[in-house]
A and B are shown apart, each in its own frame.
Chain A
Amino acid sequence: MPQRIQVDVSRIEPVLNEILNTKSPPVARCRLLSSGFSPAHALNISENIAGHKECLGCGNCVDICPFLFREPYRRDRTEQRTSMALESTVGQDCDQCYACVLMCPQVDTTIKHYVVNRRLVEVMSRLEQRIGDEEEPDLDLLVEEALEM
């Protein structure tokens, strides 16, 4: 639920690129770079939280993460569905697909547009490479068959 006036990416581009280049889920740091809660948020609480940048705990980033989809036992290590839980469970195994950034309701649309327009093209070739790696068969299993049949 970002504010009407969102962060100008041209001013944060170097640090944003640094974040996106790091092999770790970038959603939390992108959220902190964003504008925070809009004053028009719909949360029914007395405190004024306009401009706050906390994780809502909606779990969208955990649900969309392709790594946690492939290895669900990692996800089962914690009940939390926050960006911190995502960072803890995925760590440096992040595919850098940026799906978590695009799914987070607290990340500014300007940052999402930047990710889609500038970064996803290079992401696709890397993800295709990863698909190729996962297709790699376990030759050891075939050797075991050859030795034992």
Chain B
Amino acid sequence: MDFSLPEELRMIQSLVKDFVTDQLKPLERELLGRAAGLADARRSLPAEVDEKLMGMAMELGLWGLSVPEELGGVGLGALGCSLAEEELAQTIVPFTFGDVSPILFECNAAQKESYFLPLFNRRKDCHIALMEPGEPAGRADMATRAERVNGRYIINGRKLSFSVTGRDWFAVVYARTSGAAGDGVTCFLVDGGTAGLSAGRGPADTGWRSQVRAPTALTFTDCSVPAGAVLGQEGRAFHLGRKWLPSRRIVRGARAVGVAQRLLEEASTQAQSWQSFGQFVSRRPDVEAALADVATDIHACRLVVHEAACQADEGRLTRRGAAVVKVFAAEMLGRVADRVTHVFNGPSYQEGLPMEQLCRDMLATRSLGMAMELQRSIITRDILKGLKV
């Protein structure tokens, strides 16, 4: 059993770490609005800064780490992506190395030119319109419908998107269709300016409220799209990106490790710089214990993630393995945020601190309560069907 990382992956990890430390972390103060009394906090980076960072990432060969080589990316495996994501998650700056949802890896040649490449090169943004208001997330019996009329599809319904868009955008829309093979859900690529599609106003771009993530409502009223807008096959929307999606769950586990690592660093700094009753906070036994527990949790989670990532790269990843990563990483991050809050001796939503944004992200991962129970049931089913002895 060899726990050492391959040389080339350690180089990428080191490159990403330097990029985050030198280029991204200095931007945090501006994003949090701490330079001007929190009033100018921003949800996203200014376009010119984003472009500059993108250019630097491209020069370093870090653009499109998770995107397959045939689509112009680096084509890194799950372990490489996990290492990069762990470093990238240690900053609150919303920057990715050209991350594109694997659903769009299934674009045909024309769609690749019109949608995938503009998204990959940040000329367009993308709304993933899967969920609907009032419906449990991802239910197969969705209300949005697409009727085939004269070789085109007419879409009607309402969708919610949690994606952040600022530029020209398009939507990946899931809608129910009726075809020769029966009812099914089909995926459509719809441009932002299409007649019949309207997007509700997103949250403010500046001010403290900009840190709060709210969905954008997309309304389709007799929105007509050509047959060429179908992504993949008709009725097979839920099968898109199946080759790549399971390992994304492992990478999300690595993101939790990165966030927890940053919270530990913040807590260590706080504990070493604050005094109470004539003593540094870090000398107090309960704070020492909290820091030790956090470090232990992070180490354990990192090993779980790395093992699953290796299995994914070797094609041995099981549903149970992926579920263990999701449950353990989300619960670990919750425990870490809780302990760090106590070290800070204040609530985790103190405005203007990186801890605030990190804890918000933590809550987002745990708020999918149903999803967590689903993962637990996957693990339990696998345990109970084991050896009978």
On whether the beta carbons of A147 and B245 are closer than 8 Å, the reply is no
CB neighbours (8 Å) of B238 from chain A are 137, 139, 142
Q: Does B371 contact A (CB under 8 A)?
A: yes
On whether the beta carbons of A146 and B128 are closer than 8 Å, the reply is yes
Of A71, A93, A146, A147, most B-chain CB atoms within 10 Å: A146
For chain A, what secondary structure do more than half of its interface residues adopt (helix, strand, loop), or is it mixed?
helix
Q: Does A109 contact B (CB under 8 A)?
A: no
Whether A88 contacts B388 in the complex (CB less than 8 A), given A145-B245, A149-B163, comes out as: yes
Rounded to whole angstroms, the CA-CA distance of A146 and B215 in the bound complex is: 11
CB neighbours (8 Å) of B163 from chain A are 146, 149
On whether the beta carbons of B252 and A91 are closer than 8 Å, the reply is no
CB neighbours (8 Å) of A142 from chain B are 103, 130, 138, 238, 245
CB neighbours (8 Å) of A74 from chain B are 386
On whether the beta carbons of A146 and B318 are closer than 8 Å, the reply is no
CB neighbours (8 Å) of A143 from chain B are 130-131, 137-138, 368, 371
Q: Does B248 contact A (CB under 8 A)?
A: yes
CB neighbours (8 Å) of B242 from chain A are 137
On whether the beta carbons of A73 and B248 are closer than 8 Å, the reply is no
Q: Does B363 contact A (CB under 8 A)?
A: no
Rounded to whole angstroms, the CA-CA distance of A13 and B371 in the bound complex is: 47
CB neighbours (8 Å) of A148 from chain B are 162, 252
A interface bracket (residues with beta carbon within 8 Å of B): 20 to 34
On whether the beta carbons of B248 and A145 are closer than 8 Å, the reply is yes
Interface bits B307-333 vs A (CB < 8 Å: 1, else 0): 000000000101100000000000000
Rounded to whole angstroms, the CA-CA distance of A147 and B368 in the bound complex is: 10
Rounded to whole angstroms, the CA-CA distance of A145 and B388 in the bound complex is: 37
Which residues from 122 to 138 on chain A have a C-beta closer than 8 Å to any C-beta of chain B?
Answer: 135, 137-138
Tell me the minimal C-beta distance from B316 to chain A in angstroms: 8
CB neighbours (8 Å) of A92 from chain B are 385
On whether the beta carbons of B387 and A88 are closer than 8 Å, the reply is yes
Chain A residues within CB distance 8 Å of chain B: 71, 73-74, 77, 87-89, 91-93, 135, 137-149
Q: Which 9 residue pairs across A and B have the least CB separation, nearest first? A: A137-B238, A146-B130, A139-B138, A146-B128, A141-B245, A143-B138, A143-B137, A149-B101, A145-B101
> What would 26 A/B residue contacts be, using CB atoms closer than 8 Å?
A71-B318, A73-B318, A74-B386, A91-B386, A91-B387, A92-B385, A135-B239, A137-B238, A137-B242, A138-B245, A138-B246, A139-B238, A140-B374, A140-B375, A141-B245, A141-B246, A141-B249, A142-B238, A143-B137, A143-B138, A145-B102, A146-B129, A146-B162, A148-B162, A148-B252, A149-B126
